[in-house]
A = this chain, B = another copy of it.
Amino acid sequence: MKIITFLSDFGLKSSYVSQMKGIALSMTDAKLVDISHEITHHNIYEGAFVLKTIIPYFPVGTVHIGVVDPGVGNSRKGIVVTTSTHIFVGPDNGLLIPAAKKLGKFTVYEIKNQELMLNNVSNTFHGRDIFTPVAAHILNGVYFDEIGPIIKNYVDLNFEITEIKNKIVMGQIIYIDGFGNIITNIEKYKIRPLLEYDKELIIFTGTKKIKLPFVKTYSSVKKGEALATIGSNDYLEISVNQGNASKLLNVKAGDKVKIFLA
């Protein structure tokens, strides 16, 4: 089974996403799956996080197209990133790399072969004119070395760098989900050895300091109460049971957090 996924900041009002799907269906019989098209406009960081979260769940051989692309039409490269299981196609701006890293070793090819693109490449929409036809050609059997040269100087975001010292964790908010849950860049495997369930921790954000129980799930506390938990993507998450934690703490993606473990 062939699968292409699509992630972008295009929204669903315009036809940009469906134009890409039309190309994909003109060239393959792949199944097409939307990851999200509501990434905050031009927010590569947020797009990279969302793309990374879906990686464990798709079958081997899936091709992922990511288009959060504020530099379209200028000199930024287009790339294909190959791993042992999944393939990524999109701009060379860091968007694809965290997802690829999660899969271990990876190789970055610059897209140079114009025969793999649409005949008339626009200056404003490479998702349709380059990335989607390249993804379809890959599913149809094109060899990676026909795409273009391997490059080493690709752009990276390094967005999972945290610091843990003396039971103080310095991290960052990388995502606010649709429920208002605050997802940090602090990974489960780093914090679980230091913290038991049902203990308390203290979180500082820019302007707020709050003591929270570290619990197994949202409903471990009463409706409306705040909590910290390991979210379903294995990051430390700050939530309010059936409420909106991002409003309570007045934070946004990109804000720093400092956590004191008791």
Contact = CB atoms under 8 A, between A and B. Distances in A.
Nearest to A178: B11
Given A57-B22, A179-B41, A216-B73, A36 B15 contact: yes
A19 B217 contact: no
Interface string A155-170: 0000000000000000
A127 to B, nearest CB: 9
B14 A219 contact: no
A25 interface: yes
Please indicate which of the listed interface residues A13, A26, A51 has the most CB atoms of chain B within 10 Å of its own CB.
A13
Interface in A1-41: 1, 3, 5, 10-16, 18-23, 25-26, 29, 31-39, 41
A128 to B, nearest CB: 7
A191 to B, nearest CB: 16
Contacts of A23: 57
A59 interface: yes
A248 interface: no
Interface string A217-231: 111100000000111
Q: What number of copies of this chain does the assembly contain?
A: 3
A65 to B, nearest CB: 13
Nearest to A179: B41
Q: Categorize the interface residue count of chain A.
A: 35 or more
Contact of A232 (B58, B125, B230): B125
Given A33-B25, A124-B218, A19 B54 contact: yes
A42 interface: yes
A124 B58 contact: no
A14 B177 contact: yes
A207 interface: no
Contacts of A53: 15, 19
A133 to B, nearest CB: 11
